[in-house]
Amino acid sequence: MVRAVLVLVLLLAVAVLVVIVVGYNKLKSADLRVSEALSGIDVELTRRASLIPSLVHTVGTFAAHEQVVLDRVARAGAALDAAAGGASVTQRSAAESQLDSAVGRVLALGQSYPQLGSSNNFLNLQQNLTDTENKLAFARQYYNDAVAGVNRLITTMPWMFVAPIAGVSEREFYQTPRLT
């Protein structure tokens, strides 16, 4: 009888250990996927920010007296570049919103200056910005899917008991920037 109880306790301990190890690995993998997805957003934000100096230069050659608009987009690009490496998803989103607003004003200058609107360099930059925005939208969606996965894991049993052991906590969703 004592032997049966010991075997049962041993089997139960092994089962608990297996659940902890599996849960730990599952949670860490999900958390790593979120970090990877956030890095994907940073890559696209950096790509977008690297296009800004060329855009400012191209627009500046046709619309030099629009310096206030050009300075604003340059500052917004620098802020976005700085936020891309930061830890806060909210900072990234806010910087992205500022840049979207500033770039929108610069792109609108293409309509005000027909020579600028027909410039191959300007049109190429517009296309690159559009491509980057499409990639950025995909990266945001991938990130939010990864966040949903990790948040779902840490709020369901039995993983919710393993999450503190794994050091995995709820992650913040990436909010689509609103134009201001």
- The proportion of the chain whose per-residue pLDDT surpasses 90, expressed as a percent, equals 27
Long-range CB contacts (within 8 A, 24+) of 47-52: 47/132, 47/135, 48/77, 48/80, 48/99, 48/129, 48/132, 48/133, 48/136, 49/77, 49/78, 49/80, 49/81, 49/84, 49/99, 50/81, 51/125, 51/128, 51/129, 51/132, 52/76, 52/77, 52/99, 52/103
What are the pLDDT digits (tens) for 23-64? 999 999 999 999 999 999 888 888 888 888 888 788 777 776
Structural domain contains residue 32: yes
The whole domain housing 57 covers 17-174
Please check whether residue 92 lies inside any domain of the structure: yes
| Residue of 123, 121, 125 lying closest to 133 (CA atoms) | 125
In a domain? residue 60: yes
Contacts of 38 (CB under 8 A, 6+ apart): 89, 143
Q: Mean pLDDT over all residues of the chain?
A: 84
Residue 130 is encoded by which pair of tokens? Answer: 């559009």
53 occurs within a structural domain? yes
Q: Specify burial of residue 34 (Cβ count, 10 A radius: 0-12, 13-18, 19+).
A: buried
Task: Identify which of 58-67, 88-97, 117-126, 165-174 has the greatest average pLDDT.
Answer: 165-174
pLDDT at 86: 67
Note whether residue 179 is domain-resident: no
Total tally of structural domains belonging to the chain:
1
CATH of the domain at 27: 1.20.1440.20
Kindly state the tokens that stand for 39: 């890095």
Query: Could you tell me if residue 140 is inside a domain?
Result: yes
Percent of the chain at pLDDT exceeding 70: 93
Per-residue pLDDT of 110-148, as tens digits, reads 777 777 767 788 888 888 988 998 998 999 999 999 999
